[in-house]
Amino acid sequence: MPRRLMPLLLVLAGACASQPPPEVRTAREGLRVALESRDPATVSAAARAAATYEGQDPALDRMLGDALANVLMRTSDGIALLRANPAPDDPTWVQAYESAALRTGEAAALEATFAETGSLNIPTPEVIVAWMGARALRDPNIHIGDFHAARSACALWDGQPSRGRRTVDQPASDGFFEVLPQLGATAVVVGRANVPPDPPAHTGEGLQPCHQGRIWSTAAWPQPLPKHVTIAIDSDSGPLYLSVRPEDGAPWVFASTRADIAGQLVATVRAVQSGSTPDPRWLPDQLADSPKRVAPPLVE
């Protein structure tokens, strides 16, 4: 045999030796397909078949960990398997491991997992972890990305100033939220203050809790409209906050800490709805050119 072929044959032999037996690969593929469905019955059947080969293939064990923790809701068992077979360079493992930690509902456990995976860890109110964790235990389709979206929404809404609102006094249209992205809004969150009927965060029920109250899952006019809601609108140049209340059953923007821009925004939305061409840089340019005002609260 030519000497130059020996290294290649050794590499091929090593690759073959590292492959698990065919039956393990078959079980692994079946579990992979089942996990895509996130259906507990389908995943349970595939996990039972794959469990026979636990410990023989790290990739299969990671899938079993995902199945147990995030679909079958045996969180501690799944976390143990995921932790025993780390793959920090594999986004699938990272998502499964962090999602499993979310399902504990414990902020400390989630922060420790972020430290293990090397993910950016921004301090998070415990109420969000408890609320999202409880919901995740009931829904296998919820994953860590949903938690990050919820945390970002709270960060925007909780950033509203506690004082300094000034009068705007303009009606808002039904299609208000549909036009905002066309004017440069990058995120929109609608929320209200806490009220006594709100269920505790650990139940996962009701509106999403934040530091300063509760927020809706979608940007739309709540029905019925509460007596005071705050609309948080983000852009490339920073946020804008609008205070809204019902007037004769319709939403009315009555105040903002950037009242001059808020009034122009409401009028511009109406103009776009009437046929004007929207400027996708309108809102960020307005916020960039206008200095923030700090004034005593005239409207609360």
CA 293 vs. chain centroid, Å, equals 31
| Single-letter residue type at 117 | T
The whole-chain average pLDDT of the chain stands at 91
Question: Quick one: pLDDT at residue 268?
Answer: 97
Question: Quick one: pLDDT at residue 4?
Answer: 55
How many Å apart are CA 274 and CA 295, to the nearest integer?
34
pLDDT in tens, 214-233: 999 999 999 999 999 999 99
Say if pTM beats, i.e. exceeds, 0.85.
yes
Question: Quick one: pLDDT at residue 257?
Answer: 87
Q: Across-strand partners of 187?
A: 234
* CA diameter of the chain: 92
Query: Token pair for residue 276?
Result: 């004007």
Give the pLDDT band (50/70/90) at residue 288: very high
Lowest mean pLDDT among 8-17, 41-50, 58-67: 8-17
pLDDT in tens, 243-287: 999 998 899 999 998 999 999 999 999 999 999 999 999 999 999
How many Å apart are CA 192 and CA 212, to the nearest integer?
8
Query: Token pair for residue 43?
Result: 């995943």
Give the pLDDT band (50/70/90) at residue 95: very high
How many Å apart are CA 211 and CA 199, to the nearest integer?
15
Higher pLDDT, 28 or 123: 28
